[in-house]
Amino acid sequence: MGDYTSMSTYYDVIMTSGYYDYKKIVDGILNQPSANILEIGCGTGLILEEIAKRNPAISLTGMDLTQAMLNIAQKRLESFSQVNLSLQNITDFSLQNQFECVFSYGGVWYFVIDGDQEPLLVSHLAKGEDNESGFDRLAAHVCREGRLLLGIQGPHFDYEKPISTGLIYSQRIEPNEVGFTKHYYLHSPSETLMAQTIHYRTYSFSQAKQLMSRYGFHFQPNSVGNGTFLEFKKM
Ligand SMILES: C[S@@+](CC[C@H](N)C(=O)[O-])C[C@H]1O[C@@H](n2cnc3c(N)ncnc32)[C@H](O)[C@@H]1O
């Protein structure tokens, strides 16, 4: 299901040590104007904070299923009155608004692009029926002609690297018949500080386009982006 409680305490230190490039991600979102934006799987709010600082006129909503992540987001974003946060699972979420732009970066869904191979859709939802419900709920919250942006990441592989004095982040990937399992660890010299396992489902690009088009989301191959997102339009 994608619960990040175990990682939440260490999430920011791992991500802001080079795992994601938050400035470039936000450039990719703000390359077209939107009056309101929803982030699905907003985590600790690092992207919402960057958008809120750059353009205070945009109404922002973040939703996530992990309370511990949202607690950190709440503190980070408390001075921004244009931001609302909501604890919900994508599979049955409901909000008052429809949005002109919805995005996810490493959140519920994302794409992995390996060299010149076709994009692979990666989902935090390991069950096929949960992906159907998730896109169904999402479709109810995107305006006609609204944009859905799903982040692009490089291929996942096993590695370990130092992230701050004395701490080592590592990850291990185990492929399975529907996708892969990813193990995340943070070690100090003397102990394991964090261990988290997530089961991901994957879809080939043609399966992903078929799945998403059933809920009105159509791939925009000619959209002008900076390579951080693939864009879909809600018809
Ligand atoms: C890798 S974090 C990304 C956070 C944030 N987008 C960022 O860039 O820092 C993935 C987030 O997706 C959330 N998530 C996973 N499955 C979800 C679901 N079914 N519904 C809502 N949020 C989910 C997790 O709780 C976690 O906070």
| Domain presence at residue 59 | yes
| Band of residue 6 on the pLDDT scale cut at 50, 70, 90 | confident
Residue type at position 155: P
Whether the CB of 7 sits within 6 Å of ligand 1 = no
Whether the CB of 105 sits within 6 Å of ligand 1 = yes
| Domain presence at residue 174 | no
| Band of residue 90 on the pLDDT scale cut at 50, 70, 90 | very high
| Domain presence at residue 176 | no
The reported pLDDT for the residue numbered 20 is 84
Instruction: Please return the burial class of 21, using the count of CB atoms within 10 Å of its CB with bins 0-12, 13-18 and 19+.
Output: exposed
Percentage of the residues of the chain whose pLDDT score is greater than 90? 85
The reported pLDDT for the residue numbered 1 is 67
CA torsion sign for 14, 29, 218, 38 is: positive
Distances (CA, A) of 172 to 3, 41, 98, 199: 18, 22, 38, 12
Domain that holds residue 125: 5-155+201-234
Q: How many domains does the chain have?
A: 1
The reported pLDDT for the residue numbered 222 is 84
| 188-204 confidence digits (pLDDT tens) | 989 999 999 999 999 99
| 62-71 confidence digits (pLDDT tens) | 999 999 999 9
State in Å: Cα 223 to ligand 1 middle.
Answer: 25
The reported pLDDT for the residue numbered 19 is 76
Q: How far apart are CA 76 and CA 34, in angstroms?
A: 23
- Whether pLDDT at 164 is above 90: no
Neighbour count for residue 212 (Cβ, 10 Å): 23
Please state whether beta strands 179-187 and 192-203 pair in parallel, antiparallel, or not at all (unpaired): antiparallel
| Domain presence at residue 169 | no
Across the range 83-94, mean pLDDT stands at: 98
Q: What is the mean pLDDT of the chain?
A: 95
| 17-47 confidence digits (pLDDT tens) | 777 889 999 999 999 999 999 999 999 999 9
Cα torsion for 87, 155, 183, 199, to the nearest 10°? Answer: 60
| Domain presence at residue 28 | yes
- Whether pLDDT at 226 is above 90: no
| Domain presence at residue 172 | no
Residue type at position 45: G
Across the range 118-140, mean pLDDT stands at: 98
| 91-122 confidence digits (pLDDT tens) | 999 999 999 999 999 999 999 999 999 999 99
Q: How far apart are CA 30 and CA 233, in angstroms?
A: 16
State in Å: Cα 57 to ligand 1 middle.
Answer: 25
CATH classification at residue 44 = 3.40.50.150
| Domain presence at residue 171 | no
Across the range 205-228, mean pLDDT stands at: 94
Whether the CB of 10 sits within 6 Å of ligand 1 = no
Task: Spell out the residues 6+ positions from residue 201 whose beta carbon is closer than 8 angstroms to its own.
Answer: 122, 123, 125, 126, 127, 128, 131, 178, 179
